[in-house]
Amino acid sequence: MSTNQSLRPVTAEIVENHLFIGGCDTVELAHKYGTPLYVIDETTIRKICSEYKEAFKDYHNIHMMYACKSLCNLAVLKILDTEGFGFDTVSAGEIYTAYKAGINMKKVLFNGNNKSAKEIELALEYGIGRFSVDNFYEAELLNRIASSKNTKADILLRITPGIECHTHDYIQTGQIDSKFGFNLNLIDEIINLIKTEYKNLNLKGIHAHIGSQIFETRSYYDEVEILIRELARIKEVHGITLNEMNIGGGLGVKYTNDDTPPSVAELARAVTEAMKKALDKYAIEEPVIYIEPGRSIISTSGITLYTAGSKKTIPNVRKYIALDGGMADNPRPAMYQAKYTADVANKMNNPKTEFVTLAGRYCESGDILIENIKLPNIEAGDIVCIYNTGAYNYSMASNYNRVEKPAMVLVNNSQSAMIVSRESLDDLIARESIPDRLRK
């Protein structure tokens, strides 16, 4: 089983009725650091990184990039750096975090469909490795800024391969009607502009990303075939050999027992087989591949601990247990109807006797974290653990209802370290001011 196929961090164990992660008692962590609390297990991150490296080891021309959007902070980027990963970033904030984490900026790629001039300038100043140019506007802007700085930007072209993959509508990015990238019929036009006008863009290759939480390796197979076909076509039409190809991220994870994501090895097999076949068919040189997973690298390593509070029982309808967090620390259930799995961390061996609905604390009826889950009897003060919250939880967290964002701790070898501190009430008003005229 590969790590993205596990519901829980790989170090999860039960010791005296308590859930332990990374050798740490999660109940003690909850009491020490407070709740809600994001807990990240270093062993789980390192294990999935090894699985990616192992699965693609025969393919020597590969760069693993971590998609920072899934979870971006100094400590997490440092761990991925020590695993030899590069970084896919989409904002000045992510680029700055990578810079401050001490990462070699040549290993950073800048993605996104509306990069600002300010972000482009920062990226050029830091000397980042690649820009994935998304559209005509950006190509012109990047060329202009690079030219004003007397430098050249190494770029990939983000293309829309026209693949439908079976995942939630909001997280498909490669289909024809997408806000991202150049549709295939526009590639010649942009290449012509680069050849004739945009002298400060150095075209290295192409880039696509077909979606997220993908369960079908067939989608990757088709994607690779299309990208290789495009490389061959570009060579023929424009006489340019591009030898880089970024296939994006997207591998799914197991949020509940109903989820059956493929293993990293299965993903690698689809990519490698599709490569072999397409290279034979189109007779071009093997390109360097970039792969940029986010969710599958970080999701399983993360859990969120909450303290149970109030209860509301509606006879013959349902029993709500309210937690001290919710849609501001994990917006995914409200946004995508995402499903999760939970345990009561201080009652791990107690029989699961009742169906409850785990509600958030935010002022919105839709703030439900898990509907109808069978758990042991929950009392106020119990610690509820929701699994698989490493990706797109903290990174999409908000201060809705003016609630402080939770802390994050990293666990490893029975030790815990706070890597993001909890926001304070003063943090919430730190950048605010009252105009003088209102003070009178």
Tokens 């990039």 locate to 65
Q: Give the Cα separation of 347 and 327 in Å (integer).
A: 25
Residue 363 designated active-site? yes
Instruction: In angstroms, give the least distance from the CB of 264 to ligand LLP.
Output: 12
Question: Does residue 212 touch ligand LLP according to CB under 6 A?
Answer: yes
Q: Give the Cα separation of 327 and 337 in Å (integer).
A: 11
Instruction: In angstroms, give the least distance from the CB of 380 to ligand LLP.
Output: 30
Q: Which is nearer to ligand LLP, 41 or 382 (CB)?
A: 41
- In this chain, which residue has its C-beta nearest to ligand LLP? 249
The residue count for binding ligand LLP (CB under 6 A) is 22
**Which segments within 380-432 are labelled E, that is strand?**
383-387, 407-412, 415-420
Q: Which is nearer to ligand LLP, 65 or 345 (CB)?
A: 65
Q: Give the Cα separation of 236 and 239 in Å (integer).
A: 5
Q: Give the Cα separation of 144 and 257 in Å (integer).
A: 51
**CA 338 from chain center: how many Å?**
15
The one catalytic residue among 24, 165, 363, 385: 363
Q: Which is nearer to ligand LLP, 34 or 162 (CB)?
A: 162
Question: Does residue 248 touch ligand LLP according to CB under 6 A?
Answer: yes
Q: Which is nearer to ligand LLP, 7 or 171 (CB)?
A: 171
Restricted to residues 40-79, the positions that interact with ligand LLP (CB under 6 A) are 67, 69-70
| Cβ proximity of 52 and 265 under 8 Å | no
CA distances, 248 to each of 161, 217, 220, 226, 233 (Å) = 12, 13, 10, 14, 21
Restricted to residues 149-188, the positions that interact with ligand LLP (CB under 6 A) are 171, 173
Residue 47 CB partners (closer than 8 Å, separation 6+): 3, 10
Question: Does residue 294 touch ligand LLP according to CB under 6 A?
Answer: yes
Instruction: In angstroms, give the least distance from the CB of 249 to ligand LLP.
Output: 3
Token pair of 244 as six digits:
């880089």
Q: Give the Cα separation of 283 and 300 in Å (integer).
A: 39
Q: Give the Cα separation of 393 and 167 in Å (integer).
A: 18
Question: Does residue 88 touch ligand LLP according to CB under 6 A?
Answer: yes
Among 293, 326, 333, 390, binds ligand LLP (CB under 6 A): 293
Q: Which stretch binds ligand LLP (CB under 6 A): 54-62, 184-192, 244-252, 271-279?
A: 244-252
Among 295, 347, 361, 405, binds ligand LLP (CB under 6 A): 295
Residue 422 CB partners (closer than 8 Å, separation 6+): 33, 34, 404, 405, 406, 407
Q: Which is nearer to ligand LLP, 264 or 321 (CB)?
A: 264
Sketch the per residue contact string, 91 through 110, with ligand LLP: x for CB under 6 A, - otherwise: --------------------
- From 131, 181, 188, select the one nearest 160 (Cα to Cα): 181
Classify residue 5 by its DSSP letter. Answer: G
Token pair of 204 as six digits:
């290295």
Peptide bond into 161 cis (omega under 30): no
Q: Which is nearer to ligand LLP, 338 or 407 (CB)?
A: 338
Q: Hey, how many other C-beta atoms are within 10 angstroms of the C-beta on 165? A: 22
Instruction: In angstroms, give the least distance from the CB of 338 to ligand LLP.
Output: 7
Instruction: In angstroms, give the least distance from the CB of 51 to ligand LLP.
Output: 14
Question: Does residue 307 touch ligand LLP according to CB under 6 A?
Answer: no
User: Collapsing DSSP states into helix, strand and coil, what is residue 217?
Assistant: helix
Q: Give the Cα separation of 396 and 403 in Å (integer).
A: 14
Q: Which stretch binds ligand LLP (CB under 6 A): 243-251, 311-319, 353-361, 376-384?
A: 243-251
Q: Which is nearer to ligand LLP, 182 or 392 (CB)?
A: 392
Q: Which stretch binds ligand LLP (CB under 6 A): 36-44, 94-102, 207-215, 322-330?
A: 207-215
Residues lying near ligand LLP in the complex (CB under 6 A) are found at 67, 69-70, 88, 111, 171, 173, 209, 212-213, 248-251, 292-296, 332, 336, 392
Which residues are known to be catalytic? 363
